[in-house]
Structure 1
Amino acid sequence: MERSMTKMPETAKNLPDTAGADKVDIGGRVLHWPRNPPETRVSSSLLAAVNAWIETQGGGEGLFPTQIESVHIVRSFEARMPMRQVYRPSLCIALQGAKEILFGDDVFRYGAMECLAVGLDLPASGRVVEASSDVPYIGITLDLDMAILRDVLGYLETLPVPASGSGPCLFVATADQTLADCLQRLIRLLQTPEAIPILYPAIMREICYWLLTSPNGGELRNLALPETNSDRVARVIHLLHANFAQTLRVEQLAETARMSASSFHHHFKALTSMTPLQYQKQLRLLEARRVMVTEAASVAEAAYQVGYESPSQFSREYSRMFGVAPKQDVLNLQRQYKVYADRKVQTA
């Protein structure tokens, strides 16, 4: 879920198989994009409902938190610079405009009534690529409840066909009116906060059902079932998140995954597009960014807090990852965070 609004210089039915999606090599990177036909591009009633809800929150653009903690809405009137962050297991649906996610050497683009499904906590860069004041980018991000996903999987008479090979638990797909109906009920639910605890789990179950019964369901099955390679890597990712400031040996991580060191290294990189140590470094830098922005920690304090012994090394690696020195980056983000925090108070 992207939280930056920095300007950029210059069922099988509702989630059809993306095998037919365009894959174009661009300078060594592969662009994945379903490219919906025009007649399936927009759900006008859902788009109208989301725009109306945004106006009740003060209008404008930015990230809009909702009364449902796992649901966020974004509206942007301009294309935006890439923003590095950890994408949680989630479904990100574009209602209008388009967005790109850069993951390793792959670029996943999704436009109107298309979506990105993420099955693991994955560091990636996201940016809005199509937006204007007349046709703003509008998107909904829904965190996936893995417990509900596993429970729904247990009720299916026919299990999804497991995804072949070992690759990232990440895909783009087309979303039609069936998914739009689920999302519209979520938006209506925001008008009745007292009903959210009762009705929201049922809507999430329905969304999980459509995901698991789609041609891409095998990719999520690999994560939901115990002792698959995806499940084992997910356990290690949870360990890395809980202990990112500590020195962790690959052998220790492989033991947690119940794999040999070589097998673990192979599957981890296939699923995350980086080595375990590279993944840990990104977690450290992202956490350092957070504490500097939200807790006013100094550069040196943030560096030591996330496990660095040298603030100068921290600053060099921070600048390489985010493209700007820590102090300047923090000043830019604090202004954006204030807008987000103000909106969160309004919707609490």
Structure 2
Amino acid sequence: MPNALLEIVRHHTDTHPGVSPLATAVDGLYMLRSDHEKLPSHLIFKPALCVVVQGAKWTIFGDRRFDYRAGQALVVSVEMPAFSRVAEASPTEPYLGVIIEFDLKIMSEVLEELDVPPEVVGHVGQGVFVTDFDGPLADCVLRMVRLLDTPKAIPMIAPMIMREIYYWLLTGPHGGEIAKIALASSHTHRVINAIYTLRDQFKETLRIEDLAAIAQLSASAFHRQFKALTSMTPLQYQKQLRLLEARHLLAAGAANVETAALQVGYESPSQFSREYARMFGAPPRRDIAALRSHLRTGT
């Protein structure tokens, strides 16, 4: 099974050299490839199953680091900024991965249909974990990737395979955590709603009280549960979103340092530059020059 998935992912990524992530004809299915170990990069993870087919990777959410390698998968339950690195890859054995984004509506439907739903504890747990990738779950991912060879079957078969994936996740060792993603009435879901509000309004002035009201919690309880779920405080979450968006604007040439700072919500360009350098390791202009050089040369 692992060899079959490795072969088909390698085949598809061979036909699109240099493209990673590689979007596919299956909505929400992406393939990753890197022929070399990479420098750490900042990105935003969406709720998804992130499977390592070959090689190894680590990802940091807030103050928690997760290492995962071939035979394992990272499960992300809420959209979060992160710091990630391909830690094991070479031209002969490249890092290969498959990402399957979650459809929370279908996941909720599968949860409701279970005869014995997983036990969901009341407190908010961490919104990300690593699990072994084997058995029926691995078979589902293999069949999903194989659908790319029969595109006419995708609209009919892909949704059914997705339901299988949710079934095995919900009935597996982390079923309770997966169920929290889908339960609209859970405390976790209300905190997630507040997180999405913060995500959509990250340029605005942060008021913990407003976010806590969305989560139907006191400010102190919301702060505690937010950090339990994302491994960072609301302010850290907002700051990372702002700086990631600013870096995107600068790299695209859509703004200079001063206007990028204002566009993402900073009132002080000097404060923006300090926090930017702290996150990306260099001041904005130097970081963007290095980033563009890297993109041109591939080094």
Amino acid aligned to 1:43: P
Name the CA distance, whole Å, in 2 between partners of 1:318 and 1:229: 33
Name the CA distance, whole Å, in 2 between partners of 1:338 and 1:119: 34
Q: Which residue in 1 is equivalent to 2:265?
A: 307
What do the CA deviations read for 1:125-149 (whole angstroms, capped 9, x no partner)? Answer: 1111111222221111111111111
Q: Which residue in 2 is equivalent to 1:48?
A: 7
Alignment of 1:133-282 (within 5 A): 133-163=91-121, 165-282=123-240
Name the CA distance, whole Å, in 2 between partners of 1:286 and 1:231: 25
Q: Which residue in 1 is equivalent to 2:23?
A: 65
Q: 1:111 to 1:233 in 2, by over 3 A?
A: same
Matched positions, count: 298
Q: Percent identity?
A: 47
Is the 1:96–1:111 contact (alpha carbons within 8 Å) kept by the matching residues of 2?
Answer: yes
Is the 1:80–1:128 contact (alpha carbons within 8 Å) kept by the matching residues of 2?
Answer: yes
Is the 2:64–2:231 contact (alpha carbons within 8 Å) kept by the matching residues of 1?
Answer: no
Amino acid aligned to 1:294: A
Of 48, 56, 64, which residue of structure 2 is paired with 1:98?
A: 56
Q: 1:268 to 1:60 in 2, by over 3 A?
A: closer
Is the 2:61–2:232 contact (alpha carbons within 8 Å) kept by the matching residues of 1?
Answer: no
What do the CA deviations read for 1:62-107 (whole angstroms, capped 9, x no partner)? Answer: 4322223422211112221211222111111001111111223322
Name the CA distance, whole Å, in 1 between partners of 2:148 and 2:200: 32
Determine whether 1:296 maps to 2:254: yes
Is the 1:315–1:325 contact (alpha carbons within 8 Å) kept by the matching residues of 2?
Answer: yes
Q: 1:186 to 1:336 in 2, by over 3 A?
A: farther
Q: 1:210 to 1:197 in 2, by over 3 A?
A: same
Structure 1: stretches of 5+ with no match in the other structure: 1-41, 341-348
Deviation at 1:163, TM superposition (A): 4.2
Name the CA distance, whole Å, in 2 between partners of 1:73 and 1:235: 28
Is the 1:229–1:267 contact (alpha carbons within 8 Å) kept by the matching residues of 2?
Answer: no
Q: Which residue in 1 is equivalent to 2:284?
A: 326
Is the 1:61–1:76 contact (alpha carbons within 8 Å) kept by the matching residues of 2?
Answer: no
Name the CA distance, whole Å, in 2 between partners of 1:177 and 1:222: 23
Deviation at 1:333, TM superposition (A): 3.8
Name the CA distance, whole Å, in 2 between partners of 1:303 and 1:187: 41
What secondary structure sits across from 2:21 in the alignment?
strand
Moved more, 149-158 or 225-234: 225-234
Amino acid aligned to 2:221: S
Deviation at 1:330, TM superposition (A): 2.5
Name the CA distance, whole Å, in 1 between partners of 2:272 and 2:63: 25
Name the CA distance, whole Å, in 2 between partners of 1:190 and 1:249: 46
Aligned CA RMSD, in angstroms, stands at 2.2
Deviation at 1:164, TM superposition (A): 6.4
TM-score by length of 2: 0.92
Is the 2:257–2:284 contact (alpha carbons within 8 Å) kept by the matching residues of 1?
Answer: yes
Instruction: Identify which of structures 1 and 2 has the higher relative contact order when contacts are C-alpha pairs closer than 8 Å and 6+ apart.
Output: 1
Name the CA distance, whole Å, in 1 between partners of 2:86 and 2:98: 13
Deviation at 1:222, TM superposition (A): 1.6
Determine whether 1:121 maps to 2:82: no
Name the CA distance, whole Å, in 2 between partners of 1:338 and 1:179: 39
Is the 1:223–1:231 contact (alpha carbons within 8 Å) kept by the matching residues of 2?
Answer: yes
Q: Which residue in 2 is equivalent to 1:346?
A: none
Name the CA distance, whole Å, in 2 between partners of 1:138 and 1:220: 25
Deviation at 1:60, TM superposition (A): 5.2
Is the 1:61–1:77 contact (alpha carbons within 8 Å) kept by the matching residues of 2?
Answer: no
